[in-house]
Structures are given as structure tokens and as C-alpha cells.
């Protein structure tokens, strides 16, 4: 990377840090105004956003259909982004929270209050709408953000970013609250991972395995991990047949490309014939490829043979790995061995077994009698999310505006000194 580019990036970091200070002290009304004006600006800028998107699509003519699909915008998706900004503006102020408050025997009055994290570095891939969503979640939570989108979507992201700047200007907030990296040089990502001279407090990567692997090996600043979702559904022997069929079909096929989609189905030995075959036929009838272990293939010959690798694979596609298990402990063992600690569901009418499953698994989200596709900030009532955290630290599960805050202790005394 050229020295000039490095200097430019350090300047972005310094500008973000200054902007974060202003944003931290801004009112919720000011931040909401920025979001509402940005929503109007998105609508006003539809023609130029779609023109930019058409240019991106032209440049991506040789890419896969799935990639082009993620990249494509239309009037409806821009309107959805605008409504998303308005929905985030309508959320309660995440910074107006006293998280705890108590008095010590010596009279010290201690509060733990929510504060912004500071400067967030967001690294993502081809979906251009992330530019609007991530910017809005950061503004609402009082954080400055440096966005680095995929090079494929750079023109679309710039057009969306222009609308965000309209909002910041109208609200009297610094433009550096939301900076979009203009270069497509990959070395710039490395510079972000070094923290831009101490300016970045947190990196949030959203993307495929190679991006996440790079972030994990290079980052010198804290990372809010968004890894893959190898989500499981376990059909227990006491599952209602119709409920199990509906949940498995929804968990796998409602949308196959989301991180909360089920990737592995565990069917209890006791209901392999009674429930298993019906469930597998449902999946097959909608075009889902089934990869089963020997026990599955014995009762469902249409299944391909699953390999060890299948248990560790996030397909994000119409493919499912299916295994027979012998009781809840066997299911728990499989999930702890092969899972990614994202989201797992048990289908059963037996409360004790369900509670055992919910307690034993160390995943961010564990469900009883519900589809794994509920792993989503909107479905959790958080309004919007920047992703689903799979790490152990700071935040797990849907990361919404509250999860983009930290806290500080405010202590009010009357002259106390420590003995």
C-alpha cells in the first residue's frame, strides 16, 4: 500500500474519533433526525442508486448468480432500506439506559450507564443495503463507523452513503460519523484491522469464511465475531409429527441463504420411521438434497451418503445433513462436537428433555418447538440487527442497537476517601 493511502486512512481514523466525540454528546432527537432525513434522501435518490447498481452489475457480469442476486437492488429493496432507517429511528434511545444503580454503605451512589463503544469498523461483502443498515445502527447507538464494503458493490454503496450524509448534514452532525472507504485496495482492510492508529474500538466482519479467517488472524483490535451458523434441529421421540414436519421444513427451506437456516437434522432413533420418513419426503419434495448417515439411508434410500465433512458444513443452500441419534444426550454430544454455537432447536412435547437440551448446549440461541429461522434481531423484538454474534464476549445472538453500546460507572460522593 502506498504511503499516501496509509496517511489517508489514518486521517479517516482521526476524523472518526473526533466525530464519535460529537456523536456521543448528541441527543437522541438529533440522531433520529439524521436517520429520518437519510430515509427521505434514499427515496429521492432511487434513480441514481439504481444507476450505480446497474454499473456494479455490469462489472459483475461474470459472477455467480447467487453473488449477482446479493448485489442487485431495485425500487423495493431501496424502499425497504429507507423503512429500516425509520424503524431504527423509532427505537428507544439505547444510550438512555441506567443498567444498574445502587448505594454503598459509605454513601457512594453508583450507577452503571450505557455509553457508545466509540468507533466501529464494519467490513462486509456484496450486499449494498448493509451500508444503510450498519450506518443507521451505529448512528442510533452513538458510534462513528468506518464502512468497508465489498469491491463488487462499491458504486451502489457510494450512492447509498450519499443519502446517509444528507441525513447527517441536516441534523448538524459531522459527516465523519459515517465514512465509506473509497478504495478497493485489499491492503486497506489490513490497515483497518491494525486499528488505524488506535482509532478503531471494534471490528465487525460480515461475510464468508475467508474474510472471517483473515480478520481473526490479522486483527489487533477487538472483533465481534459473526461466524457461520451450523444450526441443528433435533426431532425427539416425543415430538408431535405435524409440528416436527412444519419446523424442519421452515428451518431448512424458508430461506436457505441465512445464517439461521438449519444445516443438520438429528432424528431420534425411536421416531425414524414414524416421523423421519415423512420429514425427509417433505424436504425432498421441495428440491432439498439429503445427505444421510447409514441409518438414514437404510430407511430413505434417496439420501446421498454424508461424510464427516457434512456435519461441519454450512451449506447456505438447499442441502441438509441428516443423522440418526439415540436420545437427547447423543444429540447434545453431536451438536457440541460439530456445531458452531449459533442456533439449535429441539422439537418435543417432553418438558424435562427440552429443558435438558436448552441447559446443556452452549449456543447463542437455543429453541424449544420453534424454527431456527427465528434467529434474527427483528424476530427477537430488537428492531434491527447488524448480525448474529457467535463469539462469547460482549454480545451473542442478534446484535442490535443495545448490543452496540458499552457502559461506564458514574459514582457520586460527598467527599469519601478510602480507608
> Where do we find the cell 416436527?
244
**How many residues comprise the chain?**
419
417 binding its own copies? (CB under 8 A): yes
Alpha-carbon distance of 136 to 382, in angstroms, equals 14
| Residue among 206 and 396 whose Cβ is closer to its own copies | 396
Alpha-carbon distance of 387 to 357, in angstroms, equals 25
Alpha-carbon distance of 53 to 26, in angstroms, equals 33
Using CB under 8 A, pick the residue from 264, 397, 400, 401 that binds its own copies: 397
CB of 109 to its own copies, least distance (A): 9
Can you say whether the dihedral through the CA atoms of 102, 104, 109, 110 is positive or negative? negative
Alpha-carbon distance of 89 to 32, in angstroms, equals 5
Q: Report 89-118 residues binding its own copies (CB under 8 A).
A: 102, 104, 108, 110, 115, 117-118
Going along 162-302, which residue ranges are E strands? 178-180, 202-206, 231-235, 262-268, 289-292
Interface segment toward its own copies; rule CB under 8 A; list 68-76, 82-90, 241-249, 262-270: 241-249
Alpha-carbon distance of 278 to 201, in angstroms, equals 50
Give me Rg for the CA atoms of the chain.
Answer: 24
Using CB under 8 A, pick the residue from 81, 247, 283, 290 that binds its own copies: 247
Using CB under 8 A, pick the residue from 293, 314, 396, 400 that binds its own copies: 396
Binding track over 148-187 against its own copies, x by CB under 8 A = ----------------------------------------
Using CB under 8 A, pick the residue from 3, 4, 64, 418 that binds its own copies: 418
337 binding its own copies? (CB under 8 A): no
Binding track over 356-375 against its own copies, x by CB under 8 A = --xxx-xxxxxxxxxx-xx-
> Cell numbers of 347, please?
422439537
Q: Are 234 and 213 in contact (CB under 8 A)?
A: no
Q: How many CB atoms lie within 10 A of CB 214?
A: 17
What does the binding site for its own copies look like in residue numbers (CB under 8 A)? Answer: 21, 24-25, 102, 104, 108, 110, 115, 117-118, 201-202, 216-217, 220, 222-224, 240, 243, 246-247, 249-251, 254, 336, 354, 358-360, 362-371, 373-374, 376, 379-381, 391-394, 396-397, 406-418
Amino acid at each position: 500500500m502506498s504511503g499516501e493511502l496509509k496517511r489517508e486512512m489514518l486521517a479517516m481514523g482521526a476524523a472518526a474519533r473526533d466525530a464519535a466525540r460529537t456523536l456521543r454528546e448528541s441527543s437522541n432527537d438529533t440522531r433520529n433526525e439524521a436517520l429520518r432525513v437519510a430515509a427521505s434522501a434514499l427515496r429521492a435518490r432511487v434513480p441514481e442508486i439504481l444507476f450505480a447498481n446497474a454499473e456494479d452489475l455490469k462489472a459483475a457480469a461474470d459472477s455467480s448468480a447467487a453473488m449477482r442476486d446479493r448485489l442487485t437492488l431495485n425500487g423495493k429493496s431501496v424502499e425497504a432500506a429507507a423503512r429500516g432507517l425509520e424503524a431504527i429511528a423509532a427505537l428507544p434511545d439505547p444510550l438512555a439506559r441506567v443498567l444498574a444503580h445502587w448505594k454503598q454503605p459509605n454513601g457512594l451512589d453508583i450507577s452503571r450507564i450505557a455509553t457508545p463503544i466509540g468507533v466501529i469498523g464494519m467490513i462486509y461483502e456484496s450486499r449494498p443495503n448493509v451500508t444503510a443498515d450498519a450506518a443507521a445502527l451505529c448512528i442510533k447507538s452513538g458510534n462513528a463507523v468506518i464502512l468497508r464494503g465489498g469491491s463488487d458493490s462499491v458504486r451502489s454503496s457510494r450512492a447509498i452513503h450519499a443519502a446517509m450524509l444528507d441525513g447527517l448534514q441536516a441534523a448538524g452532525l459531522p459527516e465523519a460519523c459515517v465514512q465509506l472507504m473509497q478504495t478497493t485496495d485489499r491492503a486497506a482492510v489490513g490497515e483497518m484491522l491494525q486499528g488505524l492508529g488506535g482509532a478503531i474500538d471494534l471490528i465487525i466482519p460480515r461475510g464468508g469464511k475467508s474474510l472471517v479467517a483473515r480478520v481473526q488472524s490479522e486483527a489487533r483490535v477487538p472483533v465481534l465475531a459473526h461466524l457461520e451458523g451450523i444450526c441443528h434441529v433435533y426431532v425427539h421421540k416425543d415430538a408431535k409429527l405435524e409440528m416436527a414436519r412444519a419446523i424442519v421444513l421452515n428451518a431448512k427451506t424458508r430461506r436457505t441463504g441465512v445464517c439461521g437456516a438449519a444445516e443438520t437434522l438429528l432424528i431420534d432413533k425411536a421416531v425414524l420411521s414414524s416421523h423421519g420418513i415423512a420429514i425427509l419426503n417433505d424436504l425432498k419434495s421441495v428440491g432439498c438434497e439429503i445427505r444421510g448417515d447409514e441409518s438414514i439411508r437404510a430407511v430413505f434410500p434417496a439420501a446421498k451418503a454424508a461424510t464427516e465433512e457434512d456435519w461441519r458444513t454450512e451449506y447456505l443452500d438447499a442441502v441438509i445433513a441428516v443423522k440418526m441419534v439415540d436420545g437427547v444426550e447423543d444429540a447434545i454430544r453431536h451438536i457440541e462436537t460439530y456445531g458452531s454455537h449459533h442456533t439449535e432447536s429441539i422439537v418435543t412435547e417432553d418438558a424435562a428433555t427440552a429443558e435438558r437440551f436448552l441447559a446443556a448446549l452452549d449456543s447463542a440461541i437455543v429453541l424449544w418447538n420453534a424454527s431456527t429461522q427465528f434467529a434474527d434481531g427483528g424476530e427477537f423484538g430488537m428492531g434491527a440487527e447488524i448480525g448474529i454474534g457467535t463469539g462469547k464476549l460482549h454480545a451473542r445472538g442478534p446484535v442490535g442497537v443495545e448490543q452496540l453500546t458499552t457502559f461506564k460507572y458514574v459514582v457520586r460522593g460527598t467527599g469519601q476517601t478510602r480507608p
